[in-house]
Structure 1
């Protein structure tokens, strides 16, 4: 079967690149021919200095895609170009990631990730699509989105809150499935085989929003526990931390893989902490924007790794670093999630109009 995927495929973001990679590899392992629809969210430009600093990291992502994601269609500059193109795949999949979060997609078109450009007689599904929030926050788009979702052959989402949004707002019965990154049991083809000799005493910190109080507490905790605090993707000096400003995808994965403990808000960073059997703490960057993290933790019985605010951060890190996680139990839960999600994909890929 020929399958086209629509997702965040060229973002300067580790999770976006890896979820796209994982879905492509999974579908290929099922014997499907895939391509990635090459329409991208416009870049957000800040100062010339920040843009200049981003160039080396963008190049590292380019190298990753060239080696592992070389399935792109022709490039579409606008949604009009995309709508006017001929679409000849047997199935179209949107997801994963926050493709149904209008706060993000409005940079391009809030509705394009609901397949506005497809004719009605085309098979379409979502796989692990995310709204990125606990509730639907774009009422002006509700009726249009509802009509578009009712054209889907089947809908799956990544969070339990997404199931509720689909049911209560759009009248759609959605399936809860695993993020694509959880469909693969190994990433050794990207980051090499595990070696215990590479284990470190590092406290790895990965966030998208600078928080000085958070950084101060983490640096203090690292110092008190004889850990080296490492900040990933940080171009500015942080007191008490060493910086790893530019990382290949393999370098980012291995920073997590060999850490003693990880503190993050990134959903995909948490996924790889779990896959690599690491100790971790989630600290939210914004209130009400942690549905995807909390949903995953609840499924795995790890909700005690979520720290609601900085006032509890030190105690949470102290609790987590002294806690033994029974990853044999967690692995069994993930195995079941993976099997159910793969079954969903196999069934969805047999869709017919």
Structure 2
């Protein structure tokens, strides 16, 4: 591959969860559709730590995701395990893009923080942040770290963030103007994802995509499915097996580790979605599915609130069972949602086009 028009994307290690892999796929495809020669940097930073706590999960899912990545995402040849490895590719691309996902959340980048602010990149390459996420609305960094990040961001030609709160953090602490853009998954039309699906057969079920189980989430799923006469189909992405709320009397149809194709197919097939996942909300919007989003503090409520606010869907977010039970669940008007999506997509694509020219 010639260096001309080469773009390298730095995101968190992919293949560990469906949302992370699909956002990498979407940004990779978007840039290729724009005419660039794109590689996602083969980032294995912190993979040993992640692997230790997710060994069982990876045993079942990494194979599925690896096959998807091999087919749809172009990875760089250099495997990155240390900061020294990054230096080997510092001049390898015309432009480096960091994003999306929580690349600027301190807890996700411990030990390699400044690499995610492109410290290693040479002076002749453009530095761009696309839909970078701090994950939460609070500032996590020390004053020493803030000063270093301030210096690094000063060399970026364009900065965009995924949450509205990120715009405020960049302005207040880093004196950097950041543009609020869409998660990369939202840059691609639904047809792209439908083409990735297995054969679709419409069924009468509620799709429960829950990352972190608790009793309130169990009660919400049970209540909605009973009231509306829906079976429950559930996927999980957790290491420990915890009965998935048990839900014994709800005709639970399935309980397994999903492939990406199977995961997407369930969104297409479902009558209704209940999720505590950021990307669960994203794909409910993409596929125009009626849904309830359950706040997930451990993974960052800010991400969910910002996404829903963009589409005027904040009334779909609940924080507990009592919050859910006190609501009247009207149907989402996706005509309005799709208009917003189209406008935001154009704005986000314009940001990328302008930054890379």
Counterpart of 2:9 in 1: which secondary structure? strand
Which residue of 2 is the match for residue 261 of structure 1?
Answer: 272
Of residues 116, 135, 139, the one that matches 1:136 is: 139
Which residue of 2 is the match for residue 57 of structure 1?
Answer: 61
Contact 2:90–2:122, Cα closer than 8 Å, also in 1: no
Contact 2:91–2:124, Cα closer than 8 Å, also in 1: no
Give the deviation of 1:85 after TM superposition.
4.0
| Structure 1 residues 341 and 85: CA distance shift in structure 2, 3 A | closer
Contact 2:90–2:120, Cα closer than 8 Å, also in 1: no
Counterpart of 2:177 in 1: which secondary structure? coil
| Structure 1 residues 88 and 45: CA distance shift in structure 2, 3 A | closer
Counterpart of 1:112 in 2: which secondary structure? helix
Give the deviation of 1:88 after TM superposition.
2.5
Give the deviation of 1:24 after TM superposition.
0.7
Contact 1:233–1:245, Cα closer than 8 Å, also in 2: yes
Which residue of 1 is the match for residue 340 of structure 2?
Answer: 333
Matched, 1:302 2:313: yes
Unaligned runs of 5+ in 1: none
Counterpart of 2:131 in 1: which secondary structure? coil
Cα distance in 1 between the residues matched to 2:17 and 2:298: 21
**Deviations for 1:268-299, whole angstroms, at most 9, x for unmatched residues?**
11111011010111111217921121112111
Which residue of 2 is the match for residue 251 of structure 1?
Answer: 262
Give the deviation of 1:135 after TM superposition.
2.1
User: How do 1:78-157 residues align onto structure 2 when only pairs under 5 Å count?
Assistant: 78-106=82-110, 108-140=111-143, 141-157=145-161
Give the deviation of 1:82 after TM superposition.
1.4
Cα distance in 1 between the residues matched to 2:296 and 2:307: 17
| Structure 1 residues 139 and 11: CA distance shift in structure 2, 3 A | farther
| Structure 1 residues 72 and 310: CA distance shift in structure 2, 3 A | farther
Cα distance in 2 between the residues matched to 1:343 and 1:39: 27
Cα distance in 2 between the residues matched to 1:139 and 1:250: 41
Matched, 1:68 2:68: no
Q: Which moved more, 1:268-277 or 1:69-78?
A: 69-78
Cα distance in 1 between the residues matched to 2:74 and 2:295: 34
Give the deviation of 1:242 after TM superposition.
4.1
**Deviations for 1:284-337, whole angstroms, at most 9, x for unmatched residues?**
121792112111211111110011223213444xx33xx222211111111011
Cα distance in 1 between the residues matched to 2:90 and 2:287: 42
Contact 1:99–1:113, Cα closer than 8 Å, also in 2: yes
CA RMSD of aligned residues (A): 2.0
Cα distance in 1 between the residues matched to 2:219 and 2:68: 33
Give the deviation of 1:215 after TM superposition.
1.2
Which residue of 1 is the match for residue 163 of structure 2?
Answer: 159
Counterpart of 2:208 in 1: which secondary structure? strand
Cα distance in 1 between the residues matched to 2:356 and 2:179: 15
Cα distance in 1 between the residues matched to 2:57 and 2:87: 35
Cα distance in 2 between the residues matched to 1:315 and 1:256: 26
Of residues 177, 197, 217, the one that matches 1:191 is: 197
Matched, 1:202 2:205: yes
Matched residue pairs, number? 340
Give the deviation of 1:211 after TM superposition.
0.9
Cα distance in 1 between the residues matched to 2:13 and 2:38: 14
Contact 2:38–2:74, Cα closer than 8 Å, also in 1: no
User: How do 1:307-322 residues align onto structure 2 when only pairs under 5 Å count?
Assistant: 307-316=318-327, 319-320=328-329
What TM-score do you get using the length of structure 2 for normalisation? 0.89
Which residue of 2 is the match for residue 229 of structure 1?
Answer: 232
